Structure 1
Amino acid sequence: MQIEQIYTGCLSQGAYYITSKGEAAIIDPLRETQPYIARLKRDKVKLKYVFETHFHADFVSGHIDLSEKTGAPIVYGPNANPEFEAIIATDGQEFKIGDVTIQVLHTPGHTMESTTYLLIDPKGKKHAIFSGDTLFIGDVGRPDLAQKAASMTQEQLAAILFHSLRDKIMTLPDDVVVYPAHGAGSACGKNMSKETISTIGNQKETNYALRADMTEAEFIKEVTEGLLPPPAYFGMNVAMNKKGYESFETVLNHGMKAIKVSDFEAVAEDSGALILDSRENQDFAEGHIPQSINIGIDGSFALWVGELIVNVKQPIILVTAIGKEEETVTRLSRVGFDNIIGHLEGGFEAWKEANKEVDTVKRITAKTFEKEFDLGKSKVIDIRKESEYKAEHVNDAYLRPLAEINDWIEEINPKEHFYMHCGGGYRSMIAASILQARGFRNFTEIKGGFAEMAKTNIPKTDFVCQSKVLKSN
């Protein structure tokens, strides 16, 4: 028996590969299936089942492609109603993989079809659970995402989750290993640990939602408090996972189409495509195609694409670092952005060599900002999360999280200058690109963000200042 967690950091997502006696199972696979198929071939094992814990909202699973390529059936728990062929298991149903058993534990609450898979080893011992979004390390699945589909309130779903956890999971032996679908950074929970593996016993001791003395009312209150609005693309990913999607190879072939510099502007205009530049933020600041949006591939790329672009059907043309084209297309496909028309042939260097128009972002160092900053006169916008802002921020800075830019951008006075920063420069360059694409030029972005500003003598505070309005009177 072998269990491997295949963790993808940029999505904070865990897929699982289980083998025993020449047979295999894969749980919650990623969109691109070739790495799994290569692994099966290398290990000389046959894929027997593809298990899905629920209809995922934050990524597009590879279940359909993987099933079609291997012949392995897809398995869901009770209440699932996919629009493709699948085994809809009953609560308690067992599946054999070699000499291990996977038992279905229906654990609704995050969604009504949410299912935990219990692995029983060859000796009959309960060894591990694959808990999907029902139980995380340090947290539980948020109960607000499936309200519309279930025709229930988040409080009603939370109550169901309370009993799923206590009746199906907390009754398992303390030494049972917990393998969740996500870790810190995922929007599917609010308090996830950076750890990606734990045990039932450890979670009983450390997970706020599994306190032994917790009442149902307390649970409902605690798991529904402080939930941020889910990214808009979540519903579209659920639909793709439930209804089906184009094969990954088709999406990749489209995205790998090279568009010549001479044709680029016409293709962009005719298609209504968004120009997405995935290069490093410093490279973007020094030069980019006008109206392009920068979301760097070397950060939480897919999550910010989904958060800010919103519509997965939006046509996209890519500008990438040379050699990063396939990776960029792959990571976009994982969150359902399949309408990729192609990429700029030769990258931004080819654009410059053709003497095409180039735009830049006004960016200064934290040291320069320290010299220019005038308390009470300089306007500063902090686009980090509220928790980061509360920990410490520049005196009198305005908190305007990047995730809410489509709301607060309307408050900006285009005639009033402001400084803008995030934690390290990644998010603030995203914001800068969006602002400039919408015609705002009245700002200066700070390189290195608060991490560099913290090393200066710029006045800072951990006291939460009263929220301010960005418009001038």
Structure 2
Amino acid sequence: MFVKQLYTSCISEAAYYVESEGEAVIIDPLRDIEEYLLLATERKATIKYIFETHFHADFVSGHLDLAASTGATIVYGPNTQTKFKAHVATDGEVFTIGNITIKVLHTPGHTLESSCYLLCNEQGQEYAVFTGDTLFVGDVGRPDLSQKEERLTTEALAGMLYDSLQSKIMPLADDVILYPAHGAGSSCGKNLGTENESTIGEQKQTNYALQPQTKEEFIKAITEGLQEPPKYFPINAQINKEGYENLEALLEKGMQPLSVSAFKEKSKQDECIIVDTRPAALFVDGFVPGAIFIGLEGRFAEWAASILPFDKRILLVTEDGKEKETITRLARVGFENIDGCLKGGFEAWKNAGEPIDLLIEVDADELAMDIPFDDNLVVVDVRKETEYGNGHLKQAINIPLENLTDPASMADLDDNHNIYVHCAGGYRSVIASSLLKREGIHNIRNITGGWDAILEEKDRFVIEKTEAVLN
């Protein structure tokens, strides 16, 4: 038996390869399937099944392309309805892979079809459980992501999750390995632990959701403090149910190199959006006017899906050789309308004598010097509400980055203000500044190092906390 976790840190997602006697299964594959095919080829194995723990909302699965490439059967748990061919398993159904078995444990709560897969080794012993978004290290899946479609309340789904954990997870032996679908940073739970795997015994001891408690206490514990889920979650879930364009075809179209003149012409059509994925340090020194910065060095796919509209055409400005990576990572969260890349990148644009824009950056100490003498100064803190609540500058207004695409959020900002933008470390604030500039607000200064740099100079600032946000 061979088990391998394939973890993608930029979206905190774990897929799994399980193999025995030349037969393999993939659990919760990403849309780009090359890694799974290569691994199976290297190990001289045939992919027999593709197990999906549920309809994912935070990424587009690779189930359809992988099934088309391998002939493997797509398997979902009970209560699943799809627009493509799939095997809908019954609770307790057992699948044989070589000399091992995988048993379906239906665990509704995160979604109605959510299921875990219990792996038994060659001796028939329970070895590991792949829990999807039912159980994480230190947390459980949030129960508020599918209730609108299923016409169930968050509390009703939380109650189902309690029953699922008590009846299907808690009876498992302490030494059974826990393999979840996500790690720290995922929005599919409230506060996932930093480890990407654990054991059932460890979680029984440390996971707040598995402690002795009534159903009512459990429901309260997992529903309190839930922030609004990312707006793109319903879009990705729908794509996973209905299907999508083949990734290879999408790459062929998206990687089309466009000359400067062709790029300019396309950018004028149908409110096309220019996305610049170069490192922030390069972007601030010069970029195509109107471009939105979302650098590959951060949680690129998540921010792209949170900020960019899915119904607009996208043109890309990337570093040389980063075109495929950019399109692949966009495809992971459902973007299929990419119309090409600027050939030669930003340097080609600049060398052609086209107009450029840039972003002024200042250190925290310069902000400290400006605050007492500038009545027109506005500090925009684009961190999340909880981050802001834990400590912020007295002068700062909080506009979380994901809200900046709402015109109402910018209503009180204009070029008459001297706007200083910051986040925690500097990545999100560059995104925010590019969004503000795209809306015609140019009197902006990005604070390098963000809140971390401000704290290093904290004696020069007045810092407040917002208890209402913390509670």
Same fold flag (TM > 0.5): yes
- Percent identity (aligned): 48
Change in Cα spacing, 1:465 to 1:123, as seen in structure 2 (3 Å) is closer
Structure-2 residue corresponding to 1:398: 397
Shifted more, 260-269 versus 335-344: the winner is: 260-269
Structure-2 residue corresponding to 1:220: 219
SS of residue matched to 2:305: helix
Structure-1 residue corresponding to 2:349: 351
Instruction: Give, in whole Å, the separation in 2 of the partners of 1:462 and 1:127.
Output: 50
Instruction: Give, in whole Å, the separation in 2 of the partners of 1:96 and 1:72.
Output: 14
Instruction: Give, in whole Å, the separation in 1 of the partners of 2:208 and 2:70.
Output: 41
SS of residue matched to 1:7: strand
2:441 counterpart of 1:440:
yes
Q: Does the CA-based 8 Å contact 1:394-1:458 persist in structure 2?
A: no
> How big is the shift at 1:413?
4.5
Change in Cα spacing, 1:232 to 1:466, as seen in structure 2 (3 Å) is closer
The two structures have a TM-score, normalised by structure 2, of 0.96
Structure-1 residue corresponding to 2:316: 318
Q: Does the CA-based 8 Å contact 1:107-1:134 persist in structure 2?
A: yes
Over residues 289-335 of structure 1, what are the superposed CA-to-partner deviations in whole Å (9 max), with x where a residue is unaligned? 111100001100000011111x3232100000111111000100000
SS of residue matched to 2:225: coil
Instruction: Give, in whole Å, the separation in 1 of the partners of 2:238 and 2:115.
Output: 18
Structure-1 residue corresponding to 2:142: 142
Q: Does the CA-based 8 Å contact 1:74-1:86 persist in structure 2?
A: yes
Q: Which amino acid aligns with 2:159?
A: A
Structure-2 residue corresponding to 1:33: 33
Instruction: Give, in whole Å, the separation in 2 of the partners of 1:373 and 1:462.
Output: 16
Over residues 423-449 of structure 1, what are the superposed CA-to-partner deviations in whole Å (9 max), with x where a residue is unaligned? 111000100000010011233211111
Q: Which structure 2 residues correspond to residues 209-358 of structure 1 after superposition, within 5 A?
A: 209-212=209-212, 214-309=213-308, 311-358=309-356
Instruction: Give, in whole Å, the separation in 1 of the partners of 2:379 and 2:274.
Output: 28
Instruction: Give, in whole Å, the separation in 1 of the partners of 2:468 and 2:80.
Output: 46
SS of residue matched to 2:140: coil
Over residues 95-147 of structure 1, what are the superposed CA-to-partner deviations in whole Å (9 max), with x where a residue is unaligned? 01111110000000110000000001111111111000111111111111111
Structure-1 residue corresponding to 2:388: 389
Structure-2 residue corresponding to 1:470: none
Q: Does the CA-based 8 Å contact 1:314-1:337 persist in structure 2?
A: no
Q: Which amino acid aligns with 1:374?
A: P
Structure-1 residue corresponding to 2:167: 167
> How big is the shift at 1:420?
1.2
Shifted more, 388-397 versus 235-244: the winner is: 388-397
2:157 counterpart of 1:157:
yes
Q: Does the CA-based 8 Å contact 1:92-1:104 persist in structure 2?
A: yes
SS of residue matched to 1:296: coil
Structure-1 residue corresponding to 2:460: 458
Over residues 375-428 of structure 1, what are the superposed CA-to-partner deviations in whole Å (9 max), with x where a residue is unaligned? 894432211123322333333322221122224222324422221101111000
Instruction: Give, in whole Å, the separation in 2 of the partners of 1:165 and 1:28.
Output: 20
> How big is the shift at 1:15?
0.1
2:76 counterpart of 1:76:
yes
Q: Which amino acid aligns with 1:286?
A: D
Instruction: Give, in whole Å, the separation in 2 of the partners of 1:346 and 1:224.
Output: 49
Structure-1 residue corresponding to 2:91: 91
Change in Cα spacing, 1:463 to 1:148, as seen in structure 2 (3 Å) is closer
Change in Cα spacing, 1:216 to 1:404, as seen in structure 2 (3 Å) is same
SS of residue matched to 2:18: strand
Change in Cα spacing, 1:98 to 1:453, as seen in structure 2 (3 Å) is same
Q: Which amino acid aligns with 2:203?
A: Q
> How big is the shift at 1:367?
3.0
Q: Does the CA-based 8 Å contact 1:16-1:26 persist in structure 2?
A: yes
Q: Which amino acid aligns with 1:131?
A: T
Q: Which amino acid aligns with 1:368?
A: E
Instruction: Give, in whole Å, the separation in 2 of the partners of 1:93 and 1:283.
Output: 53
Instruction: Give, in whole Å, the separation in 1 of the partners of 2:177 and 2:157.
Output: 25
Q: Does the CA-based 8 Å contact 2:315-2:340 persist in structure 1?
A: yes
Q: Which amino acid aligns with 2:198?
A: S
SS of residue matched to 1:267: helix
Shifted more, 385-394 versus 12-21: the winner is: 385-394
> How big is the shift at 1:222?
1.8
Structure-2 residue corresponding to 1:12: 12
Structure-1 residue corresponding to 2:177: 177
Structure-1 residue corresponding to 2:190: 190
Q: Which amino acid aligns with 1:346?
A: G
Q: Which amino acid aligns with 2:192?
A: M
Structure-2 residue corresponding to 1:103: 103
Instruction: Give, in whole Å, the separation in 2 of the partners of 1:235 and 1:388.
Output: 25
Deviant stretches of 4+, over 6 Å: none
Change in Cα spacing, 1:260 to 1:139, as seen in structure 2 (3 Å) is same
Q: Does the CA-based 8 Å contact 2:307-2:402 persist in structure 1?
A: yes
> How big is the shift at 1:265?
1.3
Q: Which amino acid aligns with 2:304?
A: V
Q: Does the CA-based 8 Å contact 1:313-1:338 persist in structure 2?
A: no
Q: Which amino acid aligns with 1:295?
A: I
Q: Does the CA-based 8 Å contact 1:77-1:89 persist in structure 2?
A: yes
The two structures have a TM-score, normalised by structure 1, of 0.95
Q: Does the CA-based 8 Å contact 2:274-2:314 persist in structure 1?
A: yes
Over residues 364-383 of structure 1, what are the superposed CA-to-partner deviations in whole Å (9 max), with x where a residue is unaligned? 12232233232894432211
> How big is the shift at 1:68?
0.8
Aligned residues: 465
Instruction: Give, in whole Å, the separation in 1 of the partners of 2:468 and 2:197.
Output: 40
Structure 2: gaps spanning 5 or more residues:
none
Q: Does the CA-based 8 Å contact 2:414-2:441 persist in structure 1?
A: no
Instruction: Give, in whole Å, the separation in 1 of the partners of 2:85 and 2:360.
Output: 54
Q: Does the CA-based 8 Å contact 1:421-1:446 persist in structure 2?
A: yes
Over residues 156-188 of structure 1, what are the superposed CA-to-partner deviations in whole Å (9 max), with x where a residue is unaligned? 111111100111111111111111101111111
Q: Does the CA-based 8 Å contact 2:368-2:461 persist in structure 1?
A: no
Structure-2 residue corresponding to 1:471: none
SS of residue matched to 1:411: coil
Q: Which amino acid aligns with 2:312?
A: Q
Over residues 244-291 of structure 1, what are the superposed CA-to-partner deviations in whole Å (9 max), with x where a residue is unaligned? 111110111111100100111111122432100011112111111111
Structure-1 residue corresponding to 2:424: 423
